Structures are given as structure tokens and as C-alpha cells.
Amino acid sequence: MLRMSKMTDYGIVLLTELARGEGETRTARELAARTGVPLPSVSKVLKGLQGAGLLVSHRGASGGYGLARPAREIPLTEIIASLEGPVSLTECGANGAHPPAGSCELEQVCQVRGHWRVINRTIQDALGRLTLADLCAPVPRLVSLKTNPNPNPATVGGVPS
């Protein structure tokens, strides 16, 4: 199953809350109250996002956390990678074009390794086209592959790739 961790999900929820009030700062307590994410998790995730350079913290009476740059300049892949590591379905895809020798016991005989790289790159590209600002916008209507009478291999889910 392909699934992000709960903490990464929380990180995206917290970042979208900050992005909705772009330019404003919010304390960990405020973010916990606004999102329903437990305060200990909020604190942990905010520290990780700050360490990754996605957030800045401001000290003092009106302190809190804010986005380090505009939401439209923060791709989803960067958010996920800051909390999970590289976006990849397979070990050989997580390490770029040339993973370290021995990272997979099947690497010498694997006949699909090149295909996994293409799949991993496609997923990274799709997530990289989405920004934090996109996650704050209304949900777009998705086109089902089943309803597409003339599927184009250059599209994913009816959306040009």
C-alpha cells in the first residue's frame, strides 16, 4: 500500500493552515486548535518543517511560525521529502539514477528496475507540479480514466502530463 505517514499528513494540514493566512504567524497552540492535530504532534512536525527550511519561527509576544516563502513556491514533493525522505515507490527509485551498490538484493538481475525509475519519476513529477497554494484552492473535479473514451498515453487521469 502506498501511504504517507500520519506525521506527514499532519505537516501538510498545518502548512495549508499557515498558507491560508499567508504572511501571518501562528503558535503551535493556535495551529492545534484550528486543525485538530494534537499539540505534541504539532510541535514535533513544526520543528521538522522549520529544520527543512519550510517554516520560520518568530520569538516574542507575537511570535509563532510562518511560511519561509510564498505557498506557490513550495512544491508538494519538498514538503513530503522534508518529513518522509525522497518520494519513491521502490528502493532503487529513492536513490536517484545510480543507487548505492547493494541497496537491493535483486539489482543484478532485476528486469524492471528501469521501469520503476520511470514510474517513480512520473510520481515525483506529478507531485512536484502541485504546490502548497494548490492545496489551499477548491478541490478540482477529477476525470476518471474509465470515462475517457479515447485515452491519450500523454495524460494521467485525463489531465495532460
- Could you confirm whether domain 6-67 is CATH 1.10.3720.10? no
* Mean pLDDT of the region 78-90: 87
d(Cα 10, Cα 134) in Å, to the nearest integer?
Answer: 17
- What pLDDT, on the 0 to 100 scale, is given for residue 158? 47
Whether the pLDDT of residue 43 is over 80: the answer is yes
- Give DSSP secondary structure letters for 58-108: E-STT-EEEESS-GGG-BHHHHHHHHHSS--SSHHHHT-SSPPTTSSTTTT
Task: Give the model confidence (pLDDT) of 100-148 as tens digits.
Answer: 555 677 777 888 878 888 888 888 898 899 999 999 988 877 655 555 4
Domain coordinates of the chain in residue numbers? 6-67
Position of cell 477548491? 138
